[in-house]
């Protein structure tokens, strides 16, 4: 995997949208063995590419880079002000009966077990996820859902779905062993993005169908 060219969905003078494979870091980690990441691969092609947001290592999907400090700042502001529409696809354990819903549970880092996060109704930061059922698979007892993270907390989708009793299949951090073992990867994919262009504000939309 090391040194592979990034899969680029969109490139212009102000931003880059790349497709992150599951199992690859978004940015470098600590240690020589954690230097290969999507940002390094993109910067090897476009040296001015700067990180705007991140995806968990196990998550695949669309990732945005700003070209230069000003584009990065404007894109970061759009994310912070919730001007970016993000949709994920996940496969979760069990059958979710309702067609749509939302999970409004505050989250905080689980300090003794970091980087794990947990629900904390007293000290947690407000966190909201909307979901919509796309289908059920009776044979595997799973539900395919579209997820909209209204807030952007670390591990938000994974912890919220666990909290309502439907952990994401393949989740090595939060799912019970039997649910984790049902897939060789985390079945979570950042499938679509709509955001204002940092130069002129026009809304750009990108879609990368889930590979599972």
User: What is the torsional sign of CA 169, 61, 54, 24?
Assistant: positive
Please tell me the predicted confidence (pLDDT) of residue 30: 83
Q: First-to-last CA distance in the chain?
A: 20
Please tell me the predicted confidence (pLDDT) of residue 2: 53
For the chain, domain boundaries: 7-83, 87-188
Per-residue pLDDT tens over the stretch 139-178:
999 999 999 999 999 999 999 999 999 999 999 999 999 9
Please tell me the predicted confidence (pLDDT) of residue 33: 78
- What integer best gives the mean pLDDT of the chain? 96
Reported confidence tier of residue 3, pLDDT bands at 50, 70, 90? low
pTM above 0.85, yes or no: yes
Domains 7-83 and 87-188 share a fold: yes
Helix (H, G, I), strand (E, B) or coil at 117: strand
The fold of 87-188 is: Pseudouridine synthase (3.30.2350)
Q: How many CB atoms lie within 10 A of CB 171?
A: 27
Report how far Cα 39 is from the mean position of its chain's Cα atoms: 15
Q: Which residues are catalytic?
A: 56
Element (H, E) at 160: helix 156-163
Return the CATH number of the domain spanning residue range 7-83. 3.30.2350.10
């Amino acid at each position: 995997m090391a040194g592979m060219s990034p899969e680029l969905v969109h490139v212009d003078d102000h931003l880059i949208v790349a497709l992150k494979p599951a199992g690859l870091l978004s940015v470098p980690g600590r240690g020589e063995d954690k230097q290969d990441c999507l940002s390094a691969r993109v910067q090897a092609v476009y040296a001015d590419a700067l990180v705007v947001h991140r995806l968990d290592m196990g998550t695949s999907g669309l990732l945005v880079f700003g070209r230069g400090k000003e584009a990065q700042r404007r894109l970061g502001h759009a994310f912070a002000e919730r001007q970016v529409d993000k949709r994920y696809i996940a496969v979760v354990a069990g059958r979710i009966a309702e067609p749509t819903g939302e999970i409004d549970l505050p989250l905080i880092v689980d300090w003794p077990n970091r980087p794990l996060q947990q629900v904390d109704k007293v000290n947690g930061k407000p966190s909201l996820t909307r979901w919509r059922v796309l289908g059920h698979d009776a044979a595997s007892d799973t539900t395919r859902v579209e997820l909209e993270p209204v807030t952007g907390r670390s591990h938000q989708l994974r912890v919220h779905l666990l909290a309502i009793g439907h952990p994401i299949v393949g989740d090595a951090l939060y799912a019970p062993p039997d649910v984790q073992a049902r897939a060789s990867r985390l079945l979570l994919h950042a499938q679509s993005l709509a955001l204002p262009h940092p130069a002129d504000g026009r809304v750009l939309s990108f879609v990368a169908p889930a590979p599972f």
